[in-house]
Structure 1
Amino acid sequence: MEWKNKYPILKDIIDLKPVVWMNPNLQNKGSSSIFSLTRDDMDKAELLWKRFAPFIVKEFPETKQSKGILESPLQRISHMEREISNSFKGEFYLKCDNDLPIAGSIKARGGIYEVLQHAESLAFEAGLLTGGENYEILSSKKFKEFFSQYSIGVGSTGNLGLSIGIISAKLGFNVFVYMSADAKQWKKNLLRQKGATVHEFTGDFSEAISAGRQKTITDPKAYFVDDEDSKHLFLGYSVAALRLEKQLEERNIKVNEKHPLFVYLPCGVGGAPGGITFGLKQVFGDHVHCFFVEPTHSPSVLIGLLTRKMSNVSVQDFGIDNRTEADGLAVGRPSSFATVISDRLVSGIYTIEDNELYKLVALLADSEGIFLEPSATAGLVGPQRIHDYANEKKLDVQNVQNAIHISWATGGALVPEEDMKDFYEKGKSLL
């Protein structure tokens, strides 16, 4: 009762009602020096991606056209504008991370980056890399035999496991993925096909990641990719902001006081949306406004930020079951690393019901011919849900009408056709 008195919105959160929360702790760009990471860290991460590009082209020929750079299209979704609102102001885009090469989800940005970073570190320590080499040599038998001495572990609801499993196996690592009960069977099957060992748990994400962490740290030659506490995952995601900046420039889209940018990011443990928000704030400062989206049954980051308990509280502590069809967003406890940073940078969070996600799958497919997994549609109602924010921040009405809105699509490309058909048909039946 004390919590509900202190934070009235908590009653609706506990009752599983969709809510919109505006972050009272949002700080302006000038306060960013308080963080442990800087723009320089982000730029260094981008250089690592570039060093590995020849290896990525060699191992994943589908990236030849992009020269080994993993990036997704930015697509205008003007038909969807009319679907979500007759009074839509500004322009609406989809950041199609559902089409990211290799893993078909946003997790390719963080997961693949951290594994590459670890591989490079091991190779330098062993004297196999000295600097200046063409990283295509990492495809050689010599390097794969070297990496086969080492293991990588990760706990996952699905998409992070896919990205870690696929890239680790390609490099030659032994990879172990600890999957929560909500992880889709097809993702487990695909991981096994790619050479990963999959351990399944009957519990949720927290159980899977805890078990994976404990198992991995007992092996001195094993490395755990910790979705709850990883600087490297965070940096891998942050580079997306540099890529988005170039895509907007190519379209002659300006981001400034008169043309603000609103970005809506589906949120699970908070690492991916947190990293991208950090990057966007480094690039666009106070002219970008980022919102996280969580399922009503898994509002872990919202509860962490609202109560000021950060990662020291879970949704289960408030009687919320953490059961959702939003694959990848079924997380009961937020990231300890990312949440502290997001606390100062995210403009707000809104929650959404599973049935709304299915409806959005069908609406997007019918209006734009784009098929996403349900969790990836969460940002599509962002412009509708945050209308009070502009008034609260005293944003000029004319400027808001000139705004650019981006819904970040987080996964979908690798979903089996039959599963995608089921998502679509369920959405159509609910409309």
Structure 2
Amino acid sequence: MEPSIVQGEKLDIWQQRFPLLNKIMATEEVLWINPKNKSYDEAMKKIHITEEEVMEAEARLYRFAPYLAKVFPETIKSKGIIESPLVEISNMKKYMEKSCNINITDKLLLKCDDQLPIAGSIKARGGIYEVLKHAEALATESKLLTKQDDYSILASERYKVFFSDYSIAVGSTGNLGLSIGIISAKIGFKVTVHMSADAKQWKKDLLRSKGVKVVEYTSDYSKAVEEGRKQSEKDLKTHFIDDENSKNLFLGYAVAAYRLKKQLEEMKIKVDENHPLYVYLPCGVGGGPGGVAFGLKLLYRDDVHCYFAEPTHSPCMLIGMMTGLHNKISVQDFGIDNITEADGLAVGRASGFVGKTLEELLSGVFTVEDDKLYILLKKLVDLENIHLEPSALAGMQGPVVLAKNHRIEDFHNKNATHIVWATGGSLVPEEVMKNYYEKGAYLLQKRVTDR
């Protein structure tokens, strides 16, 4: 049932003011071009996060590298640095061009955050970073650690006992909870993850196997965060990681841009005025894609164009940014159910902190129907032997959406590079991944038959 009043105004007033709302409310796929998008220099006048803060986050991750290499064997090869490959997906590019009757100029690359060690998703960046920062603060305040120490000492029993006196809590649809739960338990913290109804069972099971307390809710993400925050406020020794408002999460994600720059240079890919970069980022509450986009803007300024991708049933960032109300408005306010198979993106209310920060930096937002996520998942396995979870395929539709929209300046520049950010998948159990693949095969066959 459609609402009649939204934020004190009649629904038809909203629809007149923002005509795209009609399609959004009908859960149709849309592309929203941000009318507030400004030049980097203009936009940064309103932003109070600095490049120095991102550099501090990068330095902190380097300090913790010896510790991570010691306690997570999968990071030994990278010497404790949590990073993912950047690969060209030329077969997928050809398939998309042929099936959608478009031309994707130059290279199509996949940033494989599904392969990030420890947590197997983009959340290994921000989530793990904030826990490490908190651990460092506690240990240094107690005179147990200095920045000059070899941080591998934190793996000793003495430190585990020290950290066991403190707690970490977070609200999550799944992947953030995984990253925070795994690293917090390893360090020695007591940890509670408040999980929304959208969270997959295997994620809850994995967390519990690591000694994490999982509290389940029958409602959505916002309720899990609200309850987690409320319970954490009762205990001074509990640090609540606030996915909706955390600057530390944001900074941890932003570091990714500097790692990506090195990878592009190694691949001899230029990014400048004549070689624009397009980046497509799946978006839930906004912290991960927001931090990455901000880092990219710091580096490439007006030569990078960042687009968020959301499910048609959970377009919270699109609605928040389009109306300018950010976290004051939700998809449910407009009668949209916030029910999607893309569990990591099943968020009804976007982060106001991220929305306001990127208000003049983000190029736009597009939405994708769930069925396409499964079809793209199947094709990526067939053509590139890469296995992602459904939510991680949201960005894959970006080049298609932009190619079909002729208002996009520069998009048809033959020197453009396109990066789809793959946000998760490597920890998905084999049987679950098989079910995803089979659903994609069924939907693809059905689509062919229906034609």
Both proteins in one fold, TM over 0.5: yes
Q: What is the deviation of 1:258?
A: 1.1
C-alpha distance in 2 between matches for 1:131 and 1:251: 34
Percent identity for Structure 1 against Structure 2:
57
Aligned letter for 1:5? Q
Aligned to 1:405: 418
Aligned letter for 1:338? V
Aligned letter for 1:305? M
Among candidates 59, 64, 69, match of residue 71 of structure 2: 59
Aligned to 1:420: 433
C-alpha distance in 1 between matches for 2:408 and 2:395: 21
1:120-140 C-alpha deviation (Å, 9 max, x unpaired): 011111111133000001101
C-alpha distance in 2 between matches for 1:388 and 1:358: 21
Q: What is the deviation of 1:303?
A: 0.3
- 1:249-268 alignment, distance < 5 Å: 249-268=265-284
Among candidates 180, 201, 206, match of residue 185 of structure 1: 201
Aligned to 1:3: 14
Deviates more, 1:29-38 or 1:292-301: 29-38
- 1:2-81 alignment, distance < 5 Å: 2-31=13-42, 32-81=44-93
Aligned letter for 1:46? E
- 1:166-245 alignment, distance < 5 Å: 166-245=182-261
C-alpha distance in 1 between matches for 2:371 and 2:132: 37
Q: What is the deviation of 1:394?
A: 3.7
Q: What is the deviation of 1:393?
A: 5.4
C-alpha distance in 1 between matches for 2:408 and 2:396: 22
C-alpha distance in 2 between matches for 1:29 and 1:261: 15
Among candidates 381, 404, 410, match of residue 395 of structure 1: 410
C-alpha distance in 1 between matches for 2:304 and 2:340: 29
C-alpha distance in 1 between matches for 2:411 and 2:60: 40
Aligned residues: 428
Aligned letter for 2:226? S
Unaligned runs of 5+ in 2: 1-11, 445-451
How does the TM-score come out when normalised to structure 2? 0.94
Aligned to 1:156: 172
Among candidates 439, 442, 447, match of residue 429 of structure 1: 442
1:247-295 C-alpha deviation (Å, 9 max, x unpaired): 0001111101111100000000001000000000001110000000000
- 1:339-350 alignment, distance < 5 Å: 339-350=355-366
Tell me if structure 1 keeps the 8 A contact 2:402–2:408. no
Q: What is the deviation of 1:111?
A: 0.2
Change (3 A) 1:396 1:162: closer
Aligned to 1:316: 332
C-alpha distance in 2 between matches for 1:152 and 1:216: 9
C-alpha distance in 2 between matches for 1:113 and 1:335: 19
Aligned letter for 2:435? D
Deviates more, 1:133-142 or 1:80-89: 80-89
C-alpha distance in 1 between matches for 2:407 and 2:94: 25
Question: What is the root-mean-square deviation of aligned Cα atoms in Å?
Answer: 1.0
C-alpha distance in 2 between matches for 1:393 and 1:363: 27
Q: What is the deviation of 1:396?
A: 7.8
Among candidates 322, 345, 349, match of residue 333 of structure 1: 349
Aligned to 2:8: none
How does the TM-score come out when normalised to structure 1? 0.98
Among candidates 98, 101, 106, match of residue 117 of structure 2: 101
1:141 equivalent in alignment to 2:157:
yes
**Equivalent position SS for 2:345:** coil
Aligned to 2:449: none
Aligned letter for 1:395? D
Aligned to 1:88: 104
Tell me if structure 1 keeps the 8 A contact 2:281–2:395. yes
